[in-house]
Amino acid sequence: TVQDAGKLTTFEDNDQKPVGHGRMLRKEDPRFVRGRGRYTDDVQLPGMLHLAILRSPFAHAKIVSIDTSAAAALPKVKAVVTGADLAAQGLAWMPTLSNDVQAVLATDKVRFQGQEVAFVVAEDRYAARDALELIDVEYEVLDPVIDVRKALAPEAPVIRDDLDGKTNNHCFDWETGDKAATEAVFAAADVVVSQDIVYPRVHPAPMETCGAVADFDPVEGKLKLWSTTQAPHAHRTLYAIVAGIPEHKIQVISPDIGGGFGNKVPIYPGYVCAIVASIVTGKPVKWMEDRSENLISTGFARDYIMRGEIAATRDGKILGIRTDVLADHGAFNGTAAPVKYPAGFFGVFTGSYDIEAAYCSMTAVYTNKAPGGVAYACSFRITEAVYLVERIVDCLAAELGMDPAELRLKNFIKPEQFPYTTKTGWVYDSGDYEPTMRLAMDMAGYADLRKEQAEKRERGELMGIGIAFFTEAVGAGPRKDMDILGLGMADGCELRVHPTGKAVVRLSVQSQGQGHETTFAQIVAEEIGIPPADIDVVHGDTDNTPFGLGTYGSRSTPVSGAAAALVARKVRDKARLIASAMLEVSVADLEWEKGAFQVKGDPGKSVTIQDIAMRAHGAGDLPEGVEGGLEAQICYNPSNLTYPHGAYICVVDIDPGTAVVKVRRFIAVDDCGNRINPMIIEGQVHGGLTDGVGMALMEMISFDEDGNCLGASLMDYLIPTALEVPDWETGFTVTPSPHHPIGAKGVGESATVGSPPAIVNAVVDALAPFGIRHADMPLTPSRVWDAMRGAPQPP
Ligand code: MCN
Ligand code: CUM
């Protein structure tokens, strides 16, 4: 199989050429476009009750007392539960994905606005919400810690006094790279540029909010949980550990998901409350967040305050990159990342450049804000890393008076250097950067754009051209060094071919809109020659799929996609044995062609995979040692991550009178290795680019000094619409992954990672006549206006 890497067998007509061909439409779409998707909130069970959560109005306050009697007396109310009730069962706290603990319901004090304080279970959603109004909580308000820069001040109130001996708000320290070597490189360099760079707190804001339906059967002792989760198997194991229900008695079903973008990776208190409520009431219980709850209390992203430094020679050879980061993790460290990587994969901040030394130091702190996760198309913090390096490289270009495209081209890792070990220890599997960059520049008409810009500058018009080049590390990951709470990051896959030659493939990953029902059928089709339409993809149900860690970090294709290809090859190997018996020739005399085994040199003698499937299940002898049936199962442990890359060019115009930024053009050239479904990839890229416009220009979760969340609705937390985005211009190059069985790399987060720096670089480039070298996201009209006037940047 390893020798086959990157080679795709080809079929003649499109229907028979499942991988990589034109525009195979998505198998799931007939269901979605007819409104027949089945989401968690569509689950209706007989006798189902509804749960609503009372949330803290304060960012930091002691709970003095809670009186639930009036709420409990409402006619339709079945139960009112507080943290004290949970504590009596040992369920008031739960582990987070980062080995921290988080309150399911607050017992001692509340630590962020929107924190879960109590819940009501009632006959309908409205009665449950009405009852919340009748719960009387007495709080003693404490000073909140909101400004991350003051979190470690000696006088700062201690947020996590629940942790033994905790006397400050320090969460963790982390470093990577070689400090001394980097200092030496910086000391000897001709040019050193430093820049403070903030990646603000943003929210994934999926269309469907988070929710669950828990149904505990006291007779069977079995819990069935429908929930909005990107990782059903990992969640089930954690529920087993937390709730003490045996794992085989828990079934987690993740039905259709209305967008995840990382928001649905963590386990939220609401899921646990729904489970507890079903156990307490003996009835199925539904919990579904509203929009404000989703925005104020669930997995945020970013919130990195970075100081970037870059050292180079006068003629533009980059020598070293150094960064110091202050990371805001909110009140509980809810980050989802492999345990050895508390800062996710931020270590790839050296980007796509061949440099001599790099170093990063990071301090993470607790604040009175919702638990920070790494959620939102982050590739485990690569979003922040790419933003840092691509911004600081532009700062260097400005300092040197060099064209930013030329500076990048001069410093790229060369194709012959792959596999390339970075100065922070990551092994980039493959890459060929210059052609990708050149293609983007050709598509953009780069030289002409610069000419146009020069002419416009003469006339006082503000036009900017921004470039970003990224390398991502996706597909976590090799189990020798990657696990989440002790669970290795491998993925199982099972393939069954039915007697009539139709098949079902069962995955451990779960789609939230990425089209897995289509692309995984394509992968299997490519390997065993059954048309994609004849292959059903089953996912999102722990009782009916093999164990694996789920979908995030664009790992489905790198890990599960590899598993699907290999399980299909395993089935094909068995089919070959059966074919040899059917054709009465030795295995060595068979060749695989278009879904059939044929006798070498005698194409007339052949059996199709469908013939073989029937024989495998039929009467009559099978070859010595071959069992009946045609199915296989594997668990795939990747040997490395995959490293997709891309070149993005953004063109903006800024209205000098209003400071409104208009993204006029955006060129995105992505390289995700071999491409399974170009149409789906294009959709992924379009979505991610739109996310990037949101983050660069509009989105930010901010707080006032009391810790009130100022982005609690979509009126305040702005997300982009079709009006704010241009017609995307996409292109691609193909540099297969050498270790992935079909040479594919992940792509689901590439555009979200790569687009913010391209847009910000373009805006800063447009503002160059004002002597501006940096401005922080989101570049709203007021921020751009202030920047143009030299006003200080907001903190
Ligand atoms: N693909 C392909 N060829 C490749 C690589 C990928 O055809 N060489 C296809 C895949 O088969 C899959 C899709 O592109 O159908 C995305 O694949 P992959 O890069 O493996 O990413 P995942 O499937 O693991 O999706 C996760 C990724 C993440 S982490 C976030 S966040 C995000 C994203 O996907 N959330 C999304 N894209 C999203 N798209 C939608 N519609 N909704 C979300 O919540
Ligand atoms: Cu980090 S957002 Mo995606 O990895 O589910």
The yes-or-no verdict on residue 12 having pLDDT over 80 is: no
Position 7 scores a pLDDT of 33
The residue-averaged pLDDT of 725-745 equals 97
Q: How far is the CA of 749 from the centre of ligand 1 (A)?
A: 7
The model's pLDDT over 682-714, given as tens digits with 9 standing for 90+, comes to 999 999 999 999 999 999 999 999 999 999 999
Q: How far is the CA of 140 from the centre of ligand 2 (A)?
A: 37
From 97, 265, 335, the mutation candidate for ligand 2 (largest count of ligand atoms within 8 A of CB) is: 265
H or E segment to which residue 536 belongs: strand 535-538
Position 17 scores a pLDDT of 58
User: Strand 318-328 and strand 301-312: pairing?
Assistant: antiparallel
- CA 567 – CA 634 distance, rounded (Å): 6
Q: Whose CA is nearest to atom 5 of ligand 1?
A: 746
Whole-prediction pTM: 0.96
Q: How confident is the model at residue 203 (pLDDT cuts 50, 70, 90)?
A: very high
Sign of CA dihedral 16, 745, 384, 478: positive
Nearest alpha-carbon partner for 523 in 740, 730, 315, 684: 740
The CATH class for the domain spanning 40-142+209-256+264-297 reads alpha beta
Which residues, at least 6 apart from 588, have a Cβ–Cβ distance to it below 8 Å? none
Contact 695, 386 (CB under 8 A): no
Nearest alpha-carbon partner for 764 in 751, 780, 775: 775
Q: Whose CA is nearest to atom 35 of ligand 1?
A: 261
Nearest ligand atom owner, CA of 335: 2
Q: How confident is the model at residue 13 (pLDDT cuts 50, 70, 90)?
A: very low
What's the one-letter identity of residue 707? G
Nearest ligand atom owner, CA of 338: 2
Torsion of CA 362, 368, 372, 376, to 10 degrees: -120
Torsion of CA 673, 753, 208, 81, to 10 degrees: 120
Of ligand 1's listed atoms, the one at least distance from the Cα of 263 is: 31
- CA 549 – CA 560 distance, rounded (Å): 10
**5 burial type by CB count under 10 A (0-12 exposed, 13-18 middle, 19+ buried):** middle
Which residues, at least 6 apart from 81, have a Cβ–Cβ distance to it below 8 Å? 105, 118, 119, 120, 121, 273, 276, 277, 280
From 257, 300, 379, 691, the mutation candidate for ligand 2 (largest count of ligand atoms within 8 A of CB) is: 379
What b-and-e string marks burial along 49-64, b requiring 16 or more CB atoms within 10 Å of the CB? bbbbbbbbebbbbebe
Sign of CA dihedral 176, 180, 181, 182: positive
Contact 118, 127 (CB under 8 A): no
Q: Give the chain's count of helices (H) and strands (E).
A: 18, 32
Tokens 């029937």 locate to 614
- CA 657 – CA 145 distance, rounded (Å): 38
Position 242 scores a pLDDT of 83
Position 11 scores a pLDDT of 34
Q: How far is the CA of 356 from the centre of ligand 1 (A)?
A: 34
Q: Whose CA is nearest to atom 17 of ligand 1?
A: 748
H or E segment to which residue 176 belongs: strand 170-177
DSSP letter for 295, please: H
Q: How confident is the model at residue 795 (pLDDT cuts 50, 70, 90)?
A: low
Q: How far is the CA of 294 from the centre of ligand 2 (A)?
A: 16
Position 23 scores a pLDDT of 63
The model's pLDDT over 90-118, given as tens digits with 9 standing for 90+, comes to 999 999 999 999 999 999 999 999 999 99
Task: Compute φ and ψ for 235, nearest 5 degrees.
Answer: -65, -45
The yes-or-no verdict on residue 489 having pLDDT over 60 is: yes
The residue-averaged pLDDT of 495-502 equals 98
What b-and-e string marks burial along 154-192, b requiring 16 or more CB atoms within 10 Å of the CB? eebeebbeeeeeeeebebbebebbbeeebeebbeebebb
Q: How far is the CA of 513 from the centre of ligand 1 (A)?
A: 8
Q: The tokens of 385 are what?
A: 């890393």
Sheet holding 535-538, edge to edge: 535-538, 503-507, 491-497, 631-636
Position 14 scores a pLDDT of 42
Nearest ligand atom owner, CA of 299: 2
| Omega before residue 419 within 30° of 0, cis | yes
Q: How far is the CA of 348 from the centre of ligand 2 (A)?
A: 17
The residue-averaged pLDDT of 276-300 equals 97
From 254, 261, 300, the mutation candidate for ligand 2 (largest count of ligand atoms within 8 A of CB) is: 261
What's the one-letter identity of residue 505? V
Q: How far is the CA of 684 from the centre of ligand 1 (A)?
A: 6
> Which residues approach ligand 2 with their CB closer than 6 A?
230, 260-262, 265, 374-378, 552-553, 749
Instruction: Tell me if the domain spanning 301-476+640-788 has CATH number 3.30.365.10.
Output: yes
Q: What is the CA radius of gyration of the chain?
A: 27
Could you report how far apart the first and last alpha carbons of the chain are, in Å? 53
- Count Cβ atoms below 10 Å from residue 208 Cβ, excluding itself: 22
Q: How far is the CA of 670 from the centre of ligand 1 (A)?
A: 14
Nearest ligand atom owner, CA of 690: 1
Q: How far is the CA of 463 from the centre of ligand 1 (A)?
A: 33
Q: How far is the CA of 736 from the centre of ligand 1 (A)?
A: 17
- CA 55 – CA 83 distance, rounded (Å): 12
The residue-averaged pLDDT of 777-781 equals 97
The yes-or-no verdict on residue 629 having pLDDT over 60 is: yes
The model's pLDDT over 378-408, given as tens digits with 9 standing for 90+, comes to 999 999 999 999 999 999 999 999 999 999 9
The yes-or-no verdict on residue 251 having pLDDT over 90 is: yes
DSSP letter for 224, please: E
Tokens 């086959």 locate to 4
- CA 334 – CA 355 distance, rounded (Å): 33
288-302, 615-629, 752-766: least confident range: 615-629
Alpha helices in 287-372, H assignment, sequence order: 291-297
**241 burial type by CB count under 10 A (0-12 exposed, 13-18 middle, 19+ buried):** middle
The yes-or-no verdict on residue 24 having pLDDT over 90 is: no
The model's pLDDT over 44-80, given as tens digits with 9 standing for 90+, comes to 999 999 999 999 999 999 999 999 999 999 999 999 9
Q: How far is the CA of 298 from the centre of ligand 2 (A)?
A: 14
- CA 788 – CA 599 distance, rounded (Å): 74
> Which residues approach ligand 1 with their CB closer than 6 A?
206, 259-262, 377, 512-516, 519, 551-557, 672-677, 680-681, 684, 687, 744-749
Of ligand 1's listed atoms, the one at least distance from the Cα of 260 is: 44
Of ligand 2's listed atoms, the one at least distance from the Cα of 376 is: 2
Q: Which residues pair with 602 in a beta bridge?
A: 599
Q: How confident is the model at residue 87 (pLDDT cuts 50, 70, 90)?
A: very high
Report domain extents, the chain: 14-37+490-636, 40-142+209-256+264-297, 301-476+640-788
Position 21 scores a pLDDT of 53
14-37+490-636 and 301-476+640-788 agree in CATH topology = yes
Q: How far is the CA of 203 from the centre of ligand 2 (A)?
A: 12
Helix (H, G, I), strand (E, B) or coil at 787: helix
- Count Cβ atoms below 10 Å from residue 84 Cβ, excluding itself: 15
From 507, 554, 740, the mutation candidate for ligand 1 (largest count of ligand atoms within 8 A of CB) is: 554
Contact 353, 412 (CB under 8 A): yes
Of ligand 2's listed atoms, the one at least distance from the Cα of 374 is: 1
- CA 223 – CA 234 distance, rounded (Å): 16
Position 3 scores a pLDDT of 34
Q: How far is the CA of 562 from the centre of ligand 2 (A)?
A: 19
- Count Cβ atoms below 10 Å from residue 624 Cβ, excluding itself: 7
CATH number (3.30.365.10, 3.40.50.150, 2.40.10.10, 3.30.1490.270) of 14-37+490-636 reads 3.30.365.10
The model's pLDDT over 754-774, given as tens digits with 9 standing for 90+, comes to 999 999 999 999 999 999 999
Nearest ligand atom owner, CA of 749: 1
Q: How far is the CA of 262 from the centre of ligand 2 (A)?
A: 4
Position 20 scores a pLDDT of 64
The residue-averaged pLDDT of 510-515 equals 96
Nearest ligand atom owner, CA of 231: 2
Nearest ligand atom owner, CA of 732: 1
Q: Whose CA is nearest to atom 20 of ligand 1?
A: 557
The residue-averaged pLDDT of 239-264 equals 95
